[in-house]
Chain A
Amino acid sequence: MTAPRFVPPLLALACGPGLVAIVARTKARMAGRVGPPLAQPYRDLVKLFRKGAVYGATTTWLFRAGPIVGFATAAVAAALVPFGGLAAPLAFPGDLLLLAYVLALGRFFAVLAALDTGSSFEGMGASREASLAVFTEPALVLALVALARLGGTLSLSAMLAGVGPAAWAAAAPALALLVAALLVVFLAENGRLPVDDPTTHLELTMIHEVMVLDHGGPDLALVGWGAAVRLWTFGALLVGLAVPVRTGDPWVDAAAALGGMVALGVLTGLVESSMARLRLRHVPQLLLGAAVLSVLALFLVLR
């Protein structure tokens, strides 16, 4: 395995918080404020890593394991997804299914860590997170399988490498539907509006933030970093699909992909600024709609 193969996960680790910063900055600008500097998430991570830790009296080792497993699974997920023209280091046929299972592992431990505190707030977050997963997992898997049919392969790296201008010219409606479906999954899995508001201060309206209320110090840093890496990973999937620049020169492709990530960050900020949160009972319908779009794309390719 050559050195360039490690670029996608390293980029995710390094630039994930940057993507979070772009989204925050766009939202601030839309609200008429200046917004935090782009380096703010990095400063927050450093600050948190410098702190000590406080653990709840009721917790066991599961509470301490939750952030670690969440971060590790996010890093492994980043190692499964290609970026620009660069293939992922852990690519093999069937890795699109492993992506879903690895993320499920991180989510399982996060839910258990939340239940470990014995607090009703974390329990509520855990309950909502587990319920949402029932709808985001099929939506993600179906979208990836539709893409697999288009690309004729079950490996993410090979699939996305094949989505160039020729693929878009041949199957534009199906690819457009898949981009829409994956955008909905991107927003849902990363806790963005209209599914979840990352900046709310009311515990009763939270999903992801309330699950980690009792983490502090390095644990909270790992949680935040893991979330940023997941945001980047899903974004890389989406950008690989939506930005069909495949010139063969790795620098050009990577630059185009980076531009796409910045555009995705701005787009997410715009979407978050312009939509209100959906009622929780309507979120399954939204995700079911995303799954329907994926199946529709598959049907279009199937005939």
Chain B
Amino acid sequence: MNAPLDAILVGILLTGFLLLGSSRLVSCIRTVALQGMLLGFLTLAAAERDAVGRAAVLTVASTAVKGFVFPWLLVRVLRGAQVRREIEPLVGYGASLLVGLGVLGLSLWLGTRLPRPDPPLSTLLVPVALFTMLVGLVLIVTRRKALTQVLGYLVMENGIYAFGAGLVQEQPILVELGILLDVLVAVFVMGIAIFHINRQFDHIDTDRMAALRDWTR
């Protein structure tokens, strides 16, 4: 049992639960940043002996981007939109925590069903990756502020990354940097979009934006 790897995976699990239970948007952004950094360390811990150098480069790059650039962008958007807290979500915070427990149970069960690489780095890896993806999905579906939905998208992306880090032993660095760039552009564009939406409508509540559908008729 690889102890540092397990500790990092448990840390990622905890960040997922923190996101489900927290209503302050700034702390949500910081939690996602922490999750990104933990994933960077995951790459390092999961890397094979001779690929440590490459893994280190990836770690630094992802830590820099996910840990500092994204949060900085999103906090700027937040300040521009002048929101502080999430409004009452479709599923309450307490209920979200319970949903998270259920999702964790589901991920653990699925993790035993899916075929695993041999030898497995850690039995926790696949469940944690699944859990993170599903938590991102839950955030997108149940929260009302557009910013939290962007965070949900980022968390889903983190989950997919975690899958890759553990299962694919040899990672072409180009592929991973390409994905990072993809996400960077997406967040950048979304940030600008949220900023402009807020300027136009004075809010970023997505369920009020559902009223826009009447305009297309």
Contacts and interface: CB of A to CB of B under 8 A. Distances in A.
B7 interface: yes
Interface string B150-163: 00000000000000
A292 B10 contact: no
B93 A285 contact: yes
Contact of B17 (A173, A284, A289, A303): A289
The prevalent SS among residues of B at the interface is: helix
A173 B10 contact: yes
A292 B100 contact: yes
A294 B101 CA distance: 11
A11 interface: no
Contact of B94 (A177, A288, A299): A288
A105 interface: no
A177 B10 contact: yes
Interface string B2-32: 0100110010011001000100000000000
A284 B94 contact: yes
A266 interface: no
The prevalent SS among residues of A at the interface is: helix
Contacts of A292: 17, 97, 100-101
B100 A173 contact: no
30 contacts: A172-B7, A173-B7, A173-B10, A284-B94, A285-B21, A285-B93, A285-B97, A288-B21, A288-B94, A288-B97, A288-B98, A289-B21, A289-B97, A292-B17, A292-B97, A292-B101, A295-B101, A296-B10, A296-B13, A296-B17, A296-B104, A299-B104, A299-B105, A299-B108, A300-B10, A303-B108, A303-B112, A303-B123, A303-B124, A303-B127
A173 B108 CA distance: 17
